[in-house]
Amino acid sequence: MSDPVEDEVFVLTVNGTLHEVACDRDASLLHVLRNRLGLAGSRFGCGVGLCGACFVLIDGHPTPSCDTPIWSAHGHSVVTVEGLGGAAGLHPVQQAFLDEQAAQCGYCVSGVLISAAALLADRPQPTEADVVAALDRNLCRCGVQRRMVRAVLRAADESRRP
């Protein structure tokens, strides 16, 4: 019989707040976010990083949190869908999704918003092809992809206005 594995302490900044989390080193970042930190916006979808429902930003890059072990997030900055907006209100892409009614069931939307926010941070004036490519890893079963693309383009347009 093997000895029980002791928890390790991992430090990460989530939505601007420093957290120390004691857990098994192989716990998924998604598990820690949802079950330890109470941030339920990221969803469990496929469990192997292929559907995008669990996407978060790690140091600004969209990353599947379901198959990211907590040890690999140690010392990094993580932004969840809850952290996209700020004191001033919703992130422009969140507002555009509301304005365009770009969500149906909502299961995939948190991951799509993360991918869209990363795109706009990297390329503030994307083309339609840029948006389609950026959202390609996010699966949506409801068929609202066209509205999602329109919402991201709207967010880009809105951010240009003074």
Q: Are strands 55-58 and 77-79 parallel, antiparallel or unpaired?
A: antiparallel
Start and end residues for every CATH 1.10.150.120 domain found in the chain? 92-160
pLDDT for the residue numbered 1 = 59
CATH 3.10.20.30 in the chain is located at: 8-83
CATH superfamily of 8-83: Beta-grasp domain (3.10.20.30)
Closest CA to 112 of 151, 132, 136, 138: 138
Report pLDDT for 64: 98
- CATH classification code of 92-160: 1.10.150.120
| Per-residue pLDDT tens listing for the chain (162 residues) | 555 667 999 999 999 999 999 999 999 999 999 999 999 999 999 999 999 999 999 999 999 999 999 999 999 999 999 999 988 899 999 999 999 999 988 899 999 999 999 999 999 999 999 999 999 999 999 989 999 999 999 999 988 776
**CA geometry: angle 35, 40, 141, nearest 5 deg:** 125
pTM for this entry: 0.93
Q: How far is CA 18 from CA 12, 33, 43, 65, 111, in A?
A: 6, 13, 22, 18, 22
pLDDT in the model for residue 159: 81
